Amino acid sequence: MLSSGEPGVFSITAGLSDRSRAGVSMNDTWNRESAGSFVEALFARHQGEIFAYLVRMLRDPELAADLTQDAFVKAYKAYDTLEKDENARAWLYQIAHRVALDHIRRRKIVRFIPFTGESPGSSPSAERIALDVQLSGPLERAMARIPERQRAALLMAEVHDLTGLELAAALGVSHVAARALLTRARESLRQALAAERAAEAAAEAERDIAYGQGLERRR
């Protein structure tokens, strides 16, 4: 049974052997408890980075929370597919990555959004503004413009510090392919950031012109 409070201290291998996890069905009581403990420990250690990764991938904290939950449920279900405990982190990223891509693929759907009680035209909360700023800078917009797999590769390699092998495992590709993807991602980001900055400069120039024209009219 899982604890309902805070997840326990991380102890992936406590009482578990690789062999014991293999080939045991989910309906096995022992396995259920072991899987639960295992995922609870994984959650305690990695929930922050998995959540952050999904926020960065999707630019939506609420959605990221939902998908983090999804990822750990999937980890629970796929518990016996992890061969070595030392691969747990990359394995978890792989699950989260697939969850994110699945969601992006399904995104062709209109979603109801939570009602906040905001009146039409009312000002957004300071918290919302701070979040928007955090999620809507040129870098974030540029990242949103590049292909998802490239975005994932950049985030995992540069922000989440996955090693080359971990990156390959998480992306589900060979080491060479992961490196090539990362290389393409850097170029895509360079181009996207340049485009974002150019657009921002153009908008700024437009505002200056409009401001100047306004001044002229007032004179």
Place of tokens 């590769």: 153
Q: How far is the CB of 180 from another protein (least distance, A)?
A: 8
Query: What is the C-alpha separation between 103 and 58, in angstroms, rounded?
Result: 9
Q: Is 158 an interacting residue with respect to another protein (CB under 8 A)?
A: yes
Smallest separation (angstroms) from another protein to the CB of 46: 11
Q: Which is nearer to another protein, 109 or 215 (CB)?
A: 109
Q: Whole-angstrom Cα distance, residue 157 to residue 1?
A: 35
48 binds another protein (CB under 8 A): yes
Q: Which of 15, 124, 164, 172 binds another protein (CB under 8 A)?
A: 164
Q: Please, which residues have CB within 8 angstroms of residue 132's CB and are 6 or more apart in sequence?
A: 124
Is the Cβ of residue 24 or residue 193 nearer to another protein in the bound state? 193
149 lies in the binding site for another protein (CB under 8 A): no
Using the rule CB under 8 A, is 118 a contact of another protein?
yes
Instruction: Give the residue with the Cβ less far from another protein, 13 or 116.
Output: 116
Could you tell me how many residues of this chain bind another protein (CB under 8 A)?
A: 73
CB-count exposure of residue 87 (10 Å: 0-12, 13-18, 19+): middle
CB–CB of 68/42 below 8 Å? no
Residues in 166-205 that interact with another protein by CB under 8 A: 179-180, 182-184, 186-191, 193-194
Inter-CA distances, 80 with 43, 115, 178, 218, Å: 16, 40, 25, 73
| Interaction of residue 55 with another protein, rule CB under 8 A | yes
* Comparison of 88 and 189: residue with beta carbon closer to another protein: 189
Q: Is 30 one of the binding residues for another protein (CB under 8 A)?
A: no
Residue 108 interacting with another protein (CB under 8 A) = yes
DSSP symbols for 78-93: TGGG---GGGHHHHHH
157 binds another protein per the rule CB under 8 A? yes
Residue entry with tokens 């403990």? 37
Of 117, 126, 217, 219, the one binding another protein (CB under 8 A) is: 117
Which of these segments, 9-17, 89-97, 143-151, 205-213, binds another protein (CB under 8 A)?
143-151
3-state secondary structure of 75: helix
CA atoms of 32 and 29, how far apart (whole Å) = 5
Centre a 10 Å sphere on the Cβ of residue 123 and count the other Cβ atoms it contains: 9
